[in-house]
Amino acid sequence: MAFDEAIAACLRDTTPAALIALGHIDDPRAVVLLLQCVRFRDWRVRLMAVRSLAGHDDPVAVAAVERSSKEDCSLPVRVEAALAVFRRDRARGKTLLTSMLAHPHVTPSLSALINGALRGET
């Protein structure tokens, strides 16, 4: 399968495996596809897209992850994005993660994930 065909297949297939694969492809077209997935209706697709974008150093990818940490309507997606920001910039990520601990819909598992990151366990 040619690279272009593989990219096209990933665009049609929003499974976690396809989105993870896009995170490992060092090609600007992969970032473009992931950026489209960040706006997908299903929060699970957005979460995997954010996770994969976090592996790219492209400034547009970095900005999309940062934006998701503040604007996504799903708290798990925002937490995933904030964790990525935290790995890139501890101070800014700490501010984002700490503010999420006070969110009225934070679950015990999200709280544990956030606290673990802040303690350096992730």
User: Tell me, which fold does domain 3-118 have in CATH?
Assistant: Leucine-rich Repeat Variant (1.25.10)
Contacts of 65 (CB under 8 A, 6+ apart): 50, 53, 54, 81, 84, 85
- Domain ranges in the chain are 3-118
pTM above 0.85, yes or no: yes
Contact by Cβ (8 Å): 71, 41: no
Label residue 21 by pLDDT band (50, 70, 90).
Answer: confident
Confidence (pLDDT) at 78 = 97
